Structure 1
């Protein structure tokens, strides 16, 4: 088992494209993988919230992981890491998903707390769940804290720190989509940075997250503008804070717009501006197009997409 944390960098929580009959659109998925890798991301997060994980069966999950790993290798991006969503309602099912993901090529598992029996999920129960999974998992875990998809379960910094300390080399990070910068700061300050990766989970607080100790970012907007997120990371590392703040403001406005359109809307934006896939979600999620989005949503997205294309053009000349 690898015991190192995920490398510092930008990670895209990949959307899953479907054909009209709702089967996997592997051609669109591969086109998306290629654009992300060429944009400079450090890794891809498969089968997370943006990947419609609850809508995929085991065979489809395995297919996507294998396709992604083999295609990245074929393109020469062998160091791009794969973090794979493996959360389920029981320890047993979570371990099955992790085992399948590991065999298919995953480097890390991203695990939500179980949320079906919400009232029973006390901090002690949640911590026992993660420790039980970590004890038997084939690959290291990242704790996924996203109250919006777990009926409000919000894992505290105390719980995250306890879990990391009691499961060294097995629980190696967390994704904080909750947006709690104080939590991110506390986790960073209490755990060794060389062995635990606390990730900001949205673009709209990427730069503040870096200041607080984020290991980069895992952000839905990176599906649209990956190179621009890498640019912000580089500005931060180079100490160009004023320029970084200006770019962060554009990403924050675009991320705010993207949050209003849902997963299908993210795919519709990608389809319209980059020429692959469609805005189709698996039912009960709907299908949409860019034409259905109002100007208030599109303008901040068009702004960052234009900057993304300029950034990619600049990189291609280097």
Structure 2
């Protein structure tokens, strides 16, 4: 049996907070329910949208357990949980991975360490992931997001070398860098049955599918999971014209959502779907849809309208 994540749409779940900044588990459960009903293949917990740097070890464990319990209660026993476990050291990362597995995670998603970014040569980064692969209790997905790692951009060469060196242990990559060429090189060099190269945002979902992606891990799926699944279906059925039209709508909405930040994603969910609030942990702020400009809301509204028709 393959150890890579199932093909499909994955939502990098936002973390909802109460006014006192404690975790809002009521909204979290409602959100997970809507994602499952939307047809996603899995959830990514404690990623960038989940405000992983703001969460304690115990909070991370509680969120994973809540997701697994909610999925089981709704009969979604095949739902995959990919959990962000990156930390500045191998030791701390392995600690997160061990805790995530015990709480119900299926895979670990790991950013390269970036505190001493000048020291993070390609060889050092590959050494970091090699050490993890040798000791990790979960299969690993490499997370390439230069915007949150002081510009560290892991090359296709590094990803391919690591995947070939550790088959069944390094089983995927999330490319939030947006580099379709990189995804194409990775997917063409590795067996589809053993390695999952994910588009890291809705903006290039369809081009990534053409390039051989395993689907998408998309912040916008917090708002419109059904719409992302619909694009996947259009592509698989060969209706490229309709898929391109839908991709254009997703790209415009994704760009708008990017501009409002993590709290803005939660504000959009709260406004259009009636749970949660646009609240981040300090120093991130709090926002509402009414505070957003029309050119931000309009493309998101277009996708929400589609979502509610599906």
TM-score bin, normalised by smaller chain? over 0.9
1:20: how far off?
0.1
Aligned counterpart, 1:165: 164
Measure the CA separation in 2 of the matches of 1:294 and 1:118: 36
Deviations 1:39-64 (A, max 9, x none): 00000000000000000000000000
Residue 83 of structure 1 contacts residue 110 of structure 1 at CA under 8 Å; is this kept in 2? Answer: yes
Unaligned runs of at least 5 residues, structure 1: 312-318
SS in structure 1 of the partner of residue 244 of structure 2: helix
Does the 8 A contact of 2:2 with 2:193 survive in 1? no
| CA deviations over 1:79-118 (Å, ceiling 9, x no partner) | 0100000000000000000000000000000000000010
1:20-50 CA-partner distances (Å, limit 9, x unpaired): 0000000000000000000000000000000
Q: Give the length in aligned residue pairs.
A: 310
Counterpart CA distance in 2 for 1:155 and 1:46 is 22
Match of 2:281 in 1: 282
1:115 lines up with 2:104 in the alignment = no
User: Secondary structure of the residue that 1:10 maps to in structure 2?
Assistant: strand
What is the CA distance between 1:3 and its match in structure 2?
5.4
Map residues 78-227 of structure 1 onto 2, 5 A cutoff. 78-227=77-226
In structure 2, the CA distance between the partners of 1:3 and 1:89, relative to structure 1 (3 Å rule), is: farther
TM-score, normalised via structure 2 length: 0.99
Q: Which runs of 5+ in 2 are unaligned?
A: none
The answer (yes or no) to whether the contact 1:3–1:140 under 8 Å persists in 2 is no
The Cα RMSD (Å) is 0.6
How far has the Cα of 1:4 moved from its partner?
Answer: 1.2
Residue of structure 2 in register with 1:231 after alignment: 230
| Aligned match of 2:252 | 253
* Partner Cα distance (2:133, 2:93) in 1: 10
Runs of 4+ residues over 2 Å off in structure 1: none
Residue in 1 aligned with 2:74?
75
> How far off is 1:263 after superposition?
0.2
Q: Does 1:299 align with 2:273?
A: no
* Contact kept in structure 2, 1:201 and 1:218, CA below 8 Å: yes
TM-score of the superposition, structure 1-length normalised? 0.97
- SS of the counterpart of 1:288? coil
Offset at residue 125 of structure 1 (A)? 0.3
